[in-house]
Amino acid sequence: MAFAAPPQAAWRSAPAGPSRGGVCGCAASRVWRLCLVVCVAVLLVAGVAAAAQAASDSTFRTPFDARIDALGEHALLTLPPQDLVDSGRQKAARAITDLRHGIFFAWAGAQIWAFAWLWQSGRGAQLRDRLRRLFRSRWAYRAAFGAALGALAPLAGLPLAFVSYRIGFNVGLTEEVIGNWVLDYARGMLADAAFAAAAVALVLELVDRTRLWYLFFLTILFAVSIEIVGVAPVLFAPLSTRYVRLQIAAAAPVEMANSSVRSQNVDAWTAGIGRFTRIILSDVLVSVATKPEIAYVVAHENAHVEHNDDLKKALIAITMFVLAVAFAVLISDRITFRRDDDAVSRLALVAACLGGVALLMFPLFNAYARGIEYRADEDSRKLLGDEAPAVRYLVRSADHDLIPLCNRRSTSWYFADYPALGSRIAAMRRTEDPCPHSPATR
Ligand SMILES: [Zn+2]
């Protein structure tokens, strides 16, 4: 549950498959496995190295933090939110947000175009034939085709993801150097390729074996996804981030992450399900915020834990993914077949349609995410009985992380997965909402 985090790029990219034609199937699959193992090992080592480069003793304070510390309680509780934030920073925040939203559509469009091109140009069918010659096993060539699809999306989106990263770097939202960013991107890319390989091989095999394939697939998809989301903070996150347990009492263990290696945001979030749940505070937040602010942030995250929000969000996201796939298959079925098409090569067309449907469904998920943020704020307000630290934290988020106090109309219904900071301040203090496009509080 990102506390105030920008939407994350979901698709990244993986190294292209090896090889020349004419290699025997078993040798080729050994080479392929070896490459995969080497890649995973390199990326894990790189991840641990990045984690070790923790900024444990550095300070992340900006001149804006001193100004926010000096704001009196009376001012925090009575002044209009726009008078509490720095007006110059707000102007920059609005410009950067607009720019990044434009880049988001270009980034998504580049991936959809890449899939459509792969199918339309016949390259998808050629790739399928080449992989079929290379790998004797049906499982292997289908998985390799899936991995290629999983790698294509992040490759197509790479230039725009890089531009977005450099914008963040230039305005101080991240201090991650290019080498580490590329390693992070490559790690995500490898995960995408592995997921797509497994999903494609599994679905096509189930389709071959049973007419009730979708029932089996849904069961496996939900079970595996929930399992992965559930254990992520304990099993996967420590591979690339270092965590330190904090002595703060809450519904789940509270840990500090060295997230400053990637982001300078004053963030906090919850992760995991059941006994693996963790409340995670960024080292930047712990370094710059006052103790009462941290108490508010922990109380807010505590509400997410008590309401099982991570589990609910994961279930909703998987259900929406399943619906999006169903719509994508329906749409692609209405598009004329090419002569060289089969169920494998046509997956590129399905992926292009899936991208389009996902863009349309994106605001539905965000609407749900925004609702649970208001509830978590309200729970923390009741628990602490003091609104000033919450307002101070929200003002700090706006200045420190360059977040607009109010959203444009398009942002408030499409992009925003949390309510506008100005609306949250108003809801917290029971004062008038300064944001004209925040429907949830009006
Ligand atoms: Zn939250």
Tell me how far the alpha carbon of residue 440 lies from the centroid of ligand 1, in angstroms.
Answer: 15
Spatial CA neighbour of 419 closest among 366, 380, 378, 358:
366
Tell me how far the alpha carbon of residue 158 lies from the centroid of ligand 1, in angstroms.
Answer: 29
pLDDT band with cut points at 50, 70 and 90 for residue 8: very low
Residues near ion ligand 1 (CB < 5 Å) are 1, 373, 376
Spatial CA neighbour of 354 closest among 172, 165, 203:
203
Q: What Rg, from alpha-carbon coordinates, does the chain have?
A: 23
Please name the residue that has the structure tokens 């995410």. Answer: 369
Spatial CA neighbour of 348 closest among 84, 128, 65:
128
Tell me how far the alpha carbon of residue 372 lies from the centroid of ligand 1, in angstroms.
Answer: 7
pLDDT digits (tens, 9 = 90+) for 66-116: 999 999 999 999 999 999 999 999 999 999 999 999 999 999 999 999 999
What is the DSSP code (8-state) at residue 243?
E
Q: What is the mean pLDDT of the chain?
A: 86
State the average pLDDT over residues 234-261. Answer: 93
What is the DSSP code (8-state) at residue 260?
G
Q: Are 224 and 230 in contact (CB under 8 A)?
A: no
What's the confidence (pLDDT) of residue 304?
96
Tell me how far the alpha carbon of residue 65 lies from the centroid of ligand 1, in angstroms.
Answer: 22
What's the confidence (pLDDT) of residue 158?
97
Q: Taking the model in full, what pTM does it have?
A: 0.81
What's the confidence (pLDDT) of residue 338?
84
Q: Which residues pair with 256 in a beta bridge?
A: 244, 281
CA distances from residue 28 to 144, 174, 200, 301, 398 in whole angstroms, order as listed: 11, 41, 20, 49, 53
364 pLDDT more than 70: yes
Tell me how far the alpha carbon of residue 428 lies from the centroid of ligand 1, in angstroms.
Answer: 14
What is the DSSP code (8-state) at residue 5?
P
In total, the chain counts a number of residues equal to 442
pLDDT band with cut points at 50, 70 and 90 for residue 339: confident
Tell me how far the alpha carbon of residue 269 lies from the centroid of ligand 1, in angstroms.
Answer: 7
Side chain identity at residue 92, one-letter code? A
Phi then psi for 290, rounded to 5 degrees? -80, 165
Tell me how far the alpha carbon of residue 268 lies from the centroid of ligand 1, in angstroms.
Answer: 8
Tell me how far the alpha carbon of residue 374 lies from the centroid of ligand 1, in angstroms.
Answer: 8
Tell me how far the alpha carbon of residue 63 lies from the centroid of ligand 1, in angstroms.
Answer: 26
Please name the residue that has the structure tokens 């309401």. Answer: 307
Task: Tell me how far apart the alpha carbons of residues 119 and 128 are, in angstroms, rounded to a whole number.
Answer: 11
Tell me how far the alpha carbon of residue 9 lies from the centroid of ligand 1, in angstroms.
Answer: 19
23 pLDDT more than 60: no
More confident residue, 209 or 4: 209
Alpha-carbon dihedral 331, 334, 336, 339, rounded to 10 degrees: 70
What's the confidence (pLDDT) of residue 18?
31
What's the confidence (pLDDT) of residue 440?
53
Supply 98's token pair: 């607009």
